[in-house]
Chains A and B, each alone.
Chain A
Amino acid sequence: MSESERPIHVVGGGIAGLVAAITAAEGGAPVVLHEAGGRLGGRAVGSAERPWVNLGPHVVFTDGALVRWLRQQRIDVSMRGPMVRGLRMLDDRGTQFPIRQAVQLLPTVLRREAPVDETFGAWAGNAFGEATADLLCRLGGLITYHHDPGALSARFMWERYRRSFLSADRVRWISGGWLSLVDALAARARTLGVHIELDDRVMPQTLPDAPTVIATKLSAAARVLDRGLSWPGARTALLDVATTSDRGWPAVIADVRSDLATCCMIERETAVDPDALGGKGGHLIQAQLGVAPDVGVAEGVARIEDGLDVGFPGWRDAIGWRRAQIVVDATGAVDPPGTTWRDRPSVVQGDDLFLAGDAVAAPGFLSEVSVNSAVDAARRALNARRGRAFAPGWPTVELTPERRLAVLAAVLPAASLNTTTAASADDVEPVDETGPGYRVEQRAGVTTATSITADDGGVRITRLASSRLPGIARAAVERLPVWRRPFRR
């Protein structure tokens, strides 16, 4: 085989593998994708019999890496939401509108940063007082699927809390379930000529020639690469119920009763997306609860059902179908105190092997980590391949985020650049949550881009703003506060 025909291999056909394959194919390489199972999608596809029913409640964020990447690629996936009504809180006093909690959480709006080294519980206790900290830790279960969110890094939790609760208007549901996302990705991959091999489990002895992107869960990657790769994750009980009727039930119940250190979330998917059951009629309720290692399926699910009994009266008489299970390390990485995403297993594994997935060193939320790491891994694989295909060792230079901004500033209308410095990258972590060190955004006709570069001891932050609006209107929009709704969906 001539070097220019040398393919990039991708192991794993979940979101990470598909994104990596598309990125590599777009970069001009032949791509072979190896998927162990008989279908694509990995965890994004529920089960063989009901693939359209997601593996537990799944949402996406319009400001996150997944949605942004889909937009950039012009891959059309239809979404529903935001959900503005129908959230109820179930606490020790019963089911209610979350008004009291919203008021209680109001002061949290002002806090932007949290430390890496403290536990979320301890930090929030000092910052907001015990009662509020307690509520915050429980609510953390909604976004981490973890049984004890208060024990995780304060920075990790705070970033997630701010993004999902203070910007609840950016939450979307994918219509027809994540199956339709997977189908759209697979269609694009096929259009680009990606060669997809199903039922093709890669083993250490059948590891294809590099450059290769391993886009499996860490445990599988560790087996394939025969090296230690691990990171803490969550253990989560899941209950899915299809019912024949809807008895005026709420859309979402957050069960934060005090026997839990976390929250049990019960979501009536069909309230947001009538197609959540694949257009088959009926109603779909999905619930998740982070459980400790010693809790079994029966016990975990019984606790979920207890919340259903209170919030969804009559549900037991309307069951059409039911699925209960515990998933382990399936909901992405969680960062313990003292660690950030940068400490997780690296994308670069040496010998032109690259890792992608939701527990790899990349920023973002849940599957956004898969997307960010997949794009990163595929670009590196492309570079490695170019290096091999053409004479290796030709000089090359990278497009640094700062130079990239300089380019955009020179071509976008009425652009301004402005550079500041900060003591450490940690202080600006949220800026790069959707892409390592760099991102572009658009709001009300104003394009903004930010880059973060290490600068001896500290970091340099460069911001670009550009707009086609006339001066006054533009100044007004730039000064506009980013309106964030309080916790309300």
Chain B
Amino acid sequence: MEDQVRAAQGGDPFAMDALLTELAPWVGRLCSSIALDKGDDAMQETFISVLKNLPTLREPAAFRGWVRRIAVREALRAATGDRAVAVADIPEVAVVPDFETAVDIRDTLTKLSPSRRAVLVLRYLEDLSEHEVAELLGTPEGTVKSGLHRARESFREQWREA
């Protein structure tokens, strides 16, 4: 991957294309878990931003973390651009997702605000620590903690314990 990153930094279109292939499943899940229906737009914007700014990335080893940041930013932007559901209106109801068949996760996510979805995604899908989540989102750790706490309540016991 690092070789590909370097080649793509040099403008090699095959390397860029290969990077898209490698990243797509991961970025696709990140973006659509946060931006839901706008996930495909968010993914497209993420990739454009990643490839455009690639020459500024100094340490190819930091690539994944850097892409994650961009993806979260683009997903939040895509999600909040959609004013159909005002953040304040989102009920914090307890929906019990069925983890075995896992049909309700999406349903549950729709009932949360985009930024809370981002917290959940980073903590549980990406396995970041609360500290890392706070740092990435630029919010105080306490906010992440309380957000997760409430989200956990709404997901009940179904979530993997922290």
Contact with A along B132-162 (1 / 0, CB 8 A): 0000000000000000000000000000100
* Contact in complex: B14, A411 (CB < 8 Å): no
Question: What is the interface size of chain A, counting residues whose CB is below 8 A from a CB of the partner?
Answer: 35
Is A27 among interface residues, defined by CB-CB distance under 8 A? yes
Contacts of A72 in B (CB 8 A): 14-15, 17-18
* Contact in complex: B44, A403 (CB < 8 Å): yes
Is B85 among interface residues, defined by CB-CB distance under 8 A? no
Known: A74-B3, A407-B44. A395 touches B14 (CB 8 A): no
Size class of the B contact interface (CB-based, 8 Å):
35 or more
* Contact in complex: B29, A408 (CB < 8 Å): no
Is B102 among interface residues, defined by CB-CB distance under 8 A? yes
Is B69 among interface residues, defined by CB-CB distance under 8 A? no
* Contact in complex: B105, A393 (CB < 8 Å): yes
* Contact in complex: A390, B43 (CB < 8 Å): no
* Contact in complex: B51, A391 (CB < 8 Å): no
Closest CB-CB distance, A431 to chain B, in whole Å?
16
Known: A397-B39, A411-B51, A466-B13. A382 touches B102 (CB 8 A): no
* Contact in complex: B31, A391 (CB < 8 Å): no
Contacts of B16 in A (CB 8 A): 408, 411-412
* Contact in complex: B26, A386 (CB < 8 Å): yes
Contacts of B1 in A (CB 8 A): 26
Known: A27-B22, A403-B43, A407-B47. A395 touches B109 (CB 8 A): yes
Closest 9 CB pairs of A and B: A393-B102, A399-B24, A411-B51, A397-B39, A397-B32, A395-B32, A396-B29, A392-B102, A407-B47
Selected A-B contacts with CB under 8 Å, 29 pairs: A26-B22, A71-B14, A74-B3, A379-B25, A383-B25, A386-B29, A390-B125, A391-B105, A391-B125, A392-B102, A393-B101, A393-B102, A393-B104, A393-B106, A395-B32, A395-B109, A397-B39, A397-B40, A398-B24, A399-B28, A400-B40, A403-B40, A408-B16, A408-B20, A411-B51, A411-B52, A440-B14, A440-B17, A466-B13
Which residues does A use to contact B, with CB under 8 Å? 26-27, 68, 71-72, 74, 379, 382-383, 386, 390-400, 403-404, 406-408, 410-413, 440, 442, 447, 449, 466
